[in-house]
């Protein structure tokens, strides 16, 4: 060993107390690392860029980071440079607010809302868009803005929640129909003009035309309600038709038969329609009185049942078809089936047939 080396060793030993404790250094490093990771996850969750400032190994040992450990650093003038501060994530994690949309006219707003709902978006989607766009106020304004963007060919940052886009479209059409002042009676009138059996479908078609800027063939509220329809003339016509039906000899049972043919549930309406056809010179598909009354039908059913029982008794007694042919010759009856019925009835009455089985 030379003298210089001995002096250096003595100097190191004399100032060894200035070195920080290794365990404390590692503990502080772990705390700083966890804080860094939390800031980085927060920046990623808010859409910001990943913060990339690593911890500097040489700076973790800075004296200012550690608490005063039993005064070991007291009175010391030795200090190390503090690490550079990490950049604030605020500017990176806050999305730029959407500029306030230009005011829309009433017609433009209706078209925008229709486009919004037609795309399958709903109220919850509007709340999500409000958060993303930093918009506050009436959700309808947010929906209109979203619809305006859809009409402009843009894609919204959230997916639609509605499962059935067709239902949303139908609802928008119906809403447009009523918003224009049209009523259910107007839908009935349009259904008649357009040869549509369902007034609801007429509302949808009418709403579609209104949203497209078309004009409907009737004005809103122009169709009379049932309470305002004059019934005197219609009642007199119906009475004349009904009288013609009865005068032709047709009955209630005939109306039941016509109801089945014409697929009309109301028997009274069947009579009126039939009378109108008779007055117009048409011929009905059934003759007057051709349909059996309930009593006659029940009687016919009873006769058929009795005949079946007689035939069963005939065969149960051991008689055959050939026996029926022999009996038909004896009784001068050409119909062998009727022979079986007659023979069975005699057997049921306890009588004996002229031939044995």
Any idea where the domains of the chain sit in the sequence? 3-93, 106-211, 232-279, 301-348
| Whole-number percent of the chain with pLDDT over 90 | 17
Helices 267-279 + 232-247 axis angle, to 10 = 80
- Per the CB < 8 A criterion, the answer to whether 81 and 60 are in contact is no
pLDDT band at 167 (very low <50, low <70, confident <90, very high): low
Q: CA separation (Å) from 9 to 18, 76, 269, 310?
A: 15, 21, 122, 136
Distance, in Å, from the CA atom of 193 to the CA atom of 218, rounded to the nearest integer, reads 10
Distance, in Å, from the CA atom of 211 to the CA atom of 219, rounded to the nearest integer, reads 16
Q: Collapse the DSSP code of 202 into the 3-class scheme (helix H, G, I; strand E, B; otherwise coil) and give the result.
A: helix
pLDDT of residue 226: 58
Is the pTM value of this prediction over 0.85?
A: no
Residues 6+ apart with CB under 8 A from 201: 191
Distance linking the first and last C-alpha atoms of the chain: 147
What is the gyration radius of the CA atoms in the chain, in angstroms? 49
- Residues 38-52: tens digit of each pLDDT: 666 655 554 444 444
Looking at 92-96, 110-114, 289-293, 294-298, which range is the least confident one?
Answer: 92-96
pLDDT of residue 235: 57
Residues 6+ apart with CB under 8 A from 355: 323, 326, 327, 330
Better-scored residue on pLDDT, 313 or 63: 313
Q: What is the DSSP letter of 228?
A: G
- CA–CA–CA angle 49, 53, 58 (5° rounding): 175
- For tokens 């006769």, name the residue: 303
Assess whether pLDDT exceeds 60 at residue 228: no
| Whole-number percent of the chain with pLDDT over 70 | 64
| Average pLDDT of the residues of the chain | 75
Question: Of 142, 57, 292, whose CA–CA distance to 65 is shortest?
Answer: 57
Assess whether pLDDT exceeds 70 at residue 19: no
Question: Of 91, 98, 95, whose CA–CA distance to 137 is shortest?
Answer: 98
- For tokens 């918003």, name the residue: 179
- Per the CB < 8 A criterion, the answer to whether 326 and 353 are in contact is no
User: How many helices (H) and strands (E) in the chain?
Assistant: 15, 0
Q: How far is CA 355 from the centre of its chain?
A: 76
- Residues 53-103: tens digit of each pLDDT: 444 444 444 444 444 444 444 444 444 444 555 444 444 444 445 555 567
pLDDT of residue 60: 41
103-139 burial by CB neighbour count: b if 16+ within 10 A, else e?
Answer: ebeeeebbbbbbbbbbbbbeeebbebbbeebebeeee
Assess whether pLDDT exceeds 90 at residue 348: yes
- CA–CA–CA angle 285, 288, 293 (5° rounding): 110
Assess whether pLDDT exceeds 50 at residue 295: yes
């Amino acid at each position: 060993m030379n003298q210089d080396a001995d002096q250096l060793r003595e100097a190191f030993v004399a100032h060894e107390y200035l070195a920080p404790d290794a365990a404390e250094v590692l503990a502080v490093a772990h705390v700083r690392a966890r804080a860094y990771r939390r800031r980085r996850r927060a920046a990623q969750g808010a859409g910001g860029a990943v913060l990339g400032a690593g911890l500097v190994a040489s700076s973790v040992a800075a004296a200012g980071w550690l608490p005063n450990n039993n005064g070991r650093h007291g009175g010391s003038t030795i200090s190390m440079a503090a690490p550079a501060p990490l950049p604030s994530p605020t500017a990176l994690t806050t999305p730029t607010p959407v500029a306030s949309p230009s005011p829309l006219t009433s017609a433009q707003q209706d078209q925008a809302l229709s486009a919004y709902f037609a795309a399958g978006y709903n109220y919850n989607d509007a709340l999500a868009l409000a958060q993303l766009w930093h918009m506050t106020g009436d959700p309808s304004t947010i929906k209109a803005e979203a619809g305006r963007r859809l009409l402009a060919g843009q894609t919204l940052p959230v997916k639609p929640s509605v499962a059935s886009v067709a239902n949303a479209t139908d609802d928008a059409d119906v809403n447009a129909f009523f918003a224009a002042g049209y009523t259910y009676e107007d839908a009935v009138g349009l259904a008649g003009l357009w040869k549509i059996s369902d007034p609801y479908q007429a509302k949808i078609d009418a709403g579609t035309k209104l949203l497209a800027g078309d004009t409907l063939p009737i004005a809103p509220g122009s169709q009379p309600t049932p309470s305002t329809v004059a019934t005197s003339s219609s009642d007199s016509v119906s009475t004349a038709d009904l009288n013609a039906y009865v005068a032709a000899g047709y009955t209630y049972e005939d109306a039941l038969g016509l109801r089945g043919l014409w697929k009309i549930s109301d028997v009274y309406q069947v009579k009126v329609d039939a009378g109108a056809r008779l007055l117009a010179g048409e011929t009905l598909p059934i003759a007057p009185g051709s349909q059996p009354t309930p009593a006659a039908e029940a009687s016919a059913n009873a006769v058929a049942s009795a005949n079946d029982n007689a035939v069963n008794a005939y065969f149960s007694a051991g008689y055959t078809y050939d026996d029926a042919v022999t009996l038909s010759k004896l009784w001068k009856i050409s119909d062998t089936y009727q022979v079986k019925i007659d023979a069975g009835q005699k057997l049921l009455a306890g009588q004996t047939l002229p031939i044995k089985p």
